[in-house]
């Protein structure tokens, strides 16, 4: 799975940016994936 715009910060309100939602989702499925790329996009693979 690939998440785009991980480091996007165009809106001054942090919760209006993708990163908090992506982080919350990854926390919810912790241990079920491995990160294969983390930069402006985040890519994970199911274990």
Is 16 in a helix, a strand, or coil? helix
Instruction: Please report the pLDDT score of residue 38 as a whole number.
Output: 97
Of 27, 33, 46, the C-alpha closest to 19 is: 27
User: What is the tens place of the pLDDT at every residue in 4-47?
Assistant: 999 998 999 988 999 999 999 999 999 999 999 999 999 999 99
Instruction: Please report the pLDDT score of residue 44 as a whole number.
Output: 98
Instruction: Please report the pLDDT score of residue 31 as a whole number.
Output: 97
Instruction: Please report the pLDDT score of residue 14 as a whole number.
Output: 87
Instruction: Please report the pLDDT score of residue 45 as a whole number.
Output: 98
Instruction: Please report the pLDDT score of residue 13 as a whole number.
Output: 92
């Amino acid at each position: 799975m690939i998440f785009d715009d991980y480091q996007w910060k165009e809106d001054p309100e942090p919760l209006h940016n993708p990163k908090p939602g992506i982080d919350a989702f990854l926390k919810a499925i912790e241990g079920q994936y491995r990160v294969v790329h983390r930069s402006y996009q985040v890519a994970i693979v199911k274990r």
